[in-house]
Amino acid sequence: MSTFGMCRETVCNGSERETLLKLKHHLIDPSNRLSSWNASLNPNCCHWYGVLCHNVTSHVAELHLTTPPPLYDESLGYYVYEEAYKEYSRRAFSGEINPSLVHLKHLNYLDFSNNLFYRKPFPSLIATMTSLTHLNLSYAEFIGNIPPQIGNLSNLLYLDLSYAVNGRITSHIGNLSNLLHLQLRGYYYGNVDWLSSLSKISYLHLGNLQLSGCTLPPYNQPSFLNISSIVTLDLSTISFVPKWIFGLKKLVSLFLYSNYFEGPISDGLRNLTLLENLYLRGNSFSIIPDWFYSSFPSLKILDLSENNLQGTISDALGNMTSLVVLDLSYNKLEGPIPTSFGIFHGLTTLRVQSSHLSGNLAVSLGKLSSLRTLSLSKNQLSGNPFESLRSLSKLSYLDINDNHFEGVVLENHLTNLTCLRGFYAAGNNLTLKVGPKWHPTFQLIELDMSSWQLGPNFPLWIQSQDKLDYLDLSNTGILDSIPYWFWETFSQTSFLNLSRNYIHGELGTTLKNPIFVPVVDLSANNLSGKFPSLSNRVGSLDLSSNSFSKPMDEFLCKNHKKPMNLEFLNLASNNLSGEIPDCWGIWPYLMDVNLQSNNFVGEIPQSMGSLIELTFLRIRKNLLSGTFPTVLKKNNKLILLDLGENDFSGTIPTWVGESFLHMKVLILRSNRFFGHIPNKICDMSLLQVLDLAQNNFTGNIPTSFNNLKAMTQMNKISVLLWLKGRGDEYKNFLGLVTSIDLSNNKLVGEIPREITDLNGLLFLNLSHNQLNGHIPQNIGNMGSLLSIDFSRNKLSGEIPPTISNLTFLSMLDLSYNNLNGKIPTGTQLQTFDASNFIGNNLCGPPLLVKCSSNDKILNYDRSGKRCDRHGVNLFFVGMTFGFVVGFWIVVGPLVICRSWRHAYFHFLDHVWFKLQYFF
């Protein structure tokens, strides 16, 4: 029977009540969770939030002031997580922990975990509270070191300082001889030899411990073999396994995440016969040895995800009949799911996503009567999955996204799935055929049926799923308007995606109230009419690629009594015209604005400069004019700015390089900018994409381009690059996008040698300018280059031999310059088309023109016609010879034969008569 509680007879001590009020006074409580801490409303602090008193002595014994952290599910995506994190931030305590807390002499349980005390010193006063038996300050984000006085808390049984601070581990923790549970995950350093002193320890979590300057006991240190009491051990991210682990005969749970292990699983594990939970995620194991399948008779949880396992899944896994959770995700496994999985009668979770599994689902999967979670996404599985899954009556989460599943799903395929809550089946070729009055037997919270065939009518059965928090019906062939009940039914949904359908009509006819959904994607449809009204809950709105044409003024400027929380706004590719409204001040949290591919005119409005959180601004392909918009000078958080394909003019101001220090992508192509490219533009050291093509820039290329240090750093931005007049979308799968495009300007002078320092540059286009001089000799240092275009300039000299070092080069155009000499021999150059070298004085493959035997070449004129090495143009010589021969072949017979001569001139008279008649 517990000695703690909140019975009516328990009344707290007055001095302890005052202590709690002082504690409240110094805490920042954004969600007012401590509203009950009010002596005038309720003097009995034992009834206050988070306070537990001893039911005999009435002393405050426990303080539960943790904040539940936001849970992140990758399937829900970035914006939903951001919403959850904002909600967490609005609830978490911050401020300071008042020193008066030490007056709670009888406090034995203190939990301040998952709060936001960042930049506040670690509360060393807590280290003097010797009555504590339970202390949890994890993820509280203090600064400083763990004070050595922590070793005085001799009564501690439970201590969790994971990510509490970022500093040195004090050896005085070794004095806590009664400690049963210790968690020290995080960025700590120091020596942990003192662990051998914790003779009673049962739960030891050192996962993510940083090893710079930190040592674990040696592989086989004898003193550690005496810690036989350890039941749970977490040594994740440590690059070796101390051999004393294999002597922990009582070990039940072992966590070895991300330890960089390779090859087969260590055979030392076979000694740990009592293991029930084994987590080996995030290593590079390639083989599961045969002994593994029979060594752990009690194993319930096996996590081998994110390794390098190859080949087929062994049937021997079926011998591990105690398994409850099996995770083989993110490996290189292939072939079918073994039929032996059908004997896992106690299995509740099976995850094998992101591998190379193929074939139809085994019918034996339908025998997993206890299965609650099944994730097989991103494989190559085929057939109709619901033929096998239809009997899984306890299944609550199903993820079969991105496979090759196909076929027709009928009502009876889904009837038994009554417990289903999460249903992810996007990216397949499935068709749902149900009656118009079908009501699903399940009640979903998350639903993703993207790329199913659900149309042409709007699916009426979706109205029954009124508990949905996540709904994705994109690309489902819906050729209909949104029904009137839709917005009311899903007003509390967090994520809504109806994009890439054929939905038509005016939103205003069915949307009577402001949208209340935080993330809304209605892009790539045929919606028209007025823009919808938004509530302050909306954080992301995508209406791009529709047919909206009415002015934005009412949407942006009216009916907003307070600042709006919208962060992402995409209205690209509509039929919007007129000037951009000047009322952006009521949208202060906007981070991403996309208005490209419309018909806006005029200048960028002044109020856009008030968007101090703006990081992405895309206004490409409109009819905007004026000089470089000075209103953006205050938007110093900009990462991407795309003003391309407009009618801007003037020079680039020098303040661009001073204000946009976070800029990674700057696109000004296809405008009327002129003048010199300012050297200050190279002060944007994070710049990764610079596109100034198709303007009127003059002068030299800045020699300070080697200041663009980020040209060697990874980048995850998706940006539209223009190469050779073609737009290509480079997304995250490239990992790195670095580009300089200065083509189609009036630049003169030499290509600066400093540009060759950008050895991380992928795309370089300087074509259609008036550049002269030589190609830099060190161009071979730019080993990452995929594309070079120097065509249509006045470059001279030979092609540097080092260009052969560019082994990743897939596009090279040097045509129409004044280059001469032999084309360097390399693994790449001879594979390019000859047209990429014409218009020079070059010889050798891939041109058909051979160089002379003494390596002196046969010259070519600007059009690619051959000349001899003495400067006599062989084209003209050949033309003269051909003319003489042709002349005498035609004229000679006319001179000699009178009848031919008369017939010829008669033919010319006839042709002239026809031409006169025609004209």
CA–CA distance, 319 with 272 (Å, rounded to integer)? 18
CA–CA distance, 770 with 762 (Å, rounded to integer)? 23
Which residue, 96, 98, 103, 169, is CA-closest to 131?
103
CA–CA distance, 610 with 864 (Å, rounded to integer)? 56
CA–CA distance, 627 with 613 (Å, rounded to integer)? 23
Q: What is the pLDDT of residue 732?
A: 37
**Residue 774 phi/psi, 5° resolution?**
-95, 155
Question: How would residue 143 be classed by pLDDT, with cut points 50, 70 and 90?
Answer: confident
Please compute the mean of the pLDDT values over residues 491-520 and round it to a whole number: 92
Tokens describing residue 241 = 């396994």
Q: Reply yes or no on whether the pLDDT at 322 is more than 80.
A: yes
CA–CA distance, 128 with 148 (Å, rounded to integer)? 10
Q: What is the pLDDT of residue 789?
A: 97
Q: What is the pLDDT of residue 86?
A: 77
DSSP 292-357: GGGS-TT--EEE--SS--EEEPPGGGGG-TT-SEEE--SSEEEEPPPGGGGG-TT--EEE--SSEE
Q: What is the pLDDT of residue 829?
A: 86
Question: How would residue 60 be classed by pLDDT, with cut points 50, 70 and 90?
Answer: very high
Q: What is the pLDDT of residue 262?
A: 86
Cα angle for residues 702, 639, 701 (degrees, 5° grid): 10
DSSP 868-894: -TTS--HHHHHHHHHHHHHHHHHHHHH
Q: Reply yes or no on whether the pLDDT at 621 is more than 50.
A: yes
What torsion, rounded to 10 degrees, do the Cα atoms 844, 845, 850, 853 define? 60
Q: Reply yes or no on whether the pLDDT at 209 is more than 90.
A: no
Contact 131, 154 (CB under 8 A): no
Which residue, 673, 682, 672, 678, is CA-closest to 700?
678
Reported as type and span, the H/E element at residue 816 is none
CA–CA distance, 699 with 518 (Å, rounded to integer)? 49
CA–CA distance, 291 with 677 (Å, rounded to integer)? 67
Helix axes 874-896, 898-918, angle to 10 degrees: 110
CA–CA distance, 808 with 826 (Å, rounded to integer)? 12
SS3 string, 398-464, reads EECCCCEEEEEEEHHHHCCCCCCCEEECCCCEEEEECCCCCCCCCCCCEEECCCCECCCCCCHHHHH
For the stretch 568-596, pLDDT in tens is 999 999 999 999 999 999 999 999 999 99
Q: What is the pLDDT of residue 217?
A: 54
For the stretch 703-753, pLDDT in tens is 999 889 888 754 444 444 444 444 444 433 334 589 999 999 999 999 999
Range 18-26 contact pairs with CB under 8 angstroms and sequence separation of 24 or more: 19/100, 19/101, 19/103, 19/104, 20/45, 20/48, 20/51, 20/60, 22/98, 22/100, 23/97, 23/98, 23/100, 23/101, 25/98, 26/95, 26/96, 26/97, 26/98
pLDDT cut 70: percent of the chain above it: 85
**Lowest mean pLDDT across 69-73, 608-612, 702-706, 900-904:** 900-904
Contact 527, 547 (CB under 8 A): yes
Question: How would residue 264 be classed by pLDDT, with cut points 50, 70 and 90?
Answer: confident
Q: What is the pLDDT of residue 83?
A: 64
Q: Tell me the C-alpha to C-alpha distance, in Å, between residue 20 and each of 27, 795, 843.
A: 11, 79, 88
Indicate the CATH number for domain 703-716+733-851. 3.80.10.10
Length of the chain: 919
CA–CA distance, 478 with 621 (Å, rounded to integer)? 30
Q: What is the pLDDT of residue 881?
A: 39
CB atoms within 10 A of CB 733: 6
Indicate the CATH number for domain 14-118. 3.80.10.10
Q: Please list the residue range(s) of the chain that carry CATH number 3.80.10.10.
A: 14-118, 703-716+733-851
Pairing of strands 495-497, 470-472: parallel
CA–CA distance, 754 with 583 (Å, rounded to integer)? 44
Q: What is the pLDDT of residue 222?
A: 39
Mean model confidence pLDDT for the chain: 86
DSSP letter at 143 equals: B
Question: How would residue 498 be classed by pLDDT, with cut points 50, 70 and 90?
Answer: very high
Q: What is the pLDDT of residue 854?
A: 57
**Residue 375 phi/psi, 5° resolution?**
-125, 115
Ramachandran region, residue 549 (left: φ > 0; alpha: ψ -120 to 50; beta: rest): alpha
Contact 248, 228 (CB under 8 A): yes
Please compute the mean of the pLDDT values over residues 159-180 and round it to a whole number: 89
Reduce the DSSP state of residue 676 to 3 states and report it: strand
Burial class (CB in 10 A: 0-12, 13-18, 19+), 905: exposed
For the stretch 641-697, pLDDT in tens is 999 999 999 999 999 999 999 999 999 999 999 999 999 999 999 999 999 999 999
Highest mean pLDDT among 239-243, 268-272, 887-891: 268-272
Q: What is the pLDDT of residue 727?
A: 44
CB atoms within 10 A of CB 671: 22
Tokens describing residue 108 = 């034995």
Q: What is the pLDDT of residue 896?
A: 43
Q: Reply yes or no on whether the pLDDT at 485 is more than 80.
A: yes
Question: How would residue 226 be classed by pLDDT, with cut points 50, 70 and 90?
Answer: low
**Lowest mean pLDDT across 8-17, 418-427, 428-437:** 8-17
Q: Reply yes or no on whether the pLDDT at 1 is more than 60.
A: no
Highest mean pLDDT among 561-565, 715-719, 861-865: 561-565
Q: Reply yes or no on whether the pLDDT at 464 is more than 80.
A: yes
Map tokens 């009501």 to a residue: 439
pTM, full prediction: 0.79
CB atoms within 10 A of CB 363: 12
Q: Which residue has the higher pLDDT, 90 or 617?
A: 617
Q: What is the pLDDT of residue 904?
A: 39
Q: Is the peptide bond before 483 cis (omega within 30 degrees of 0)?
A: no
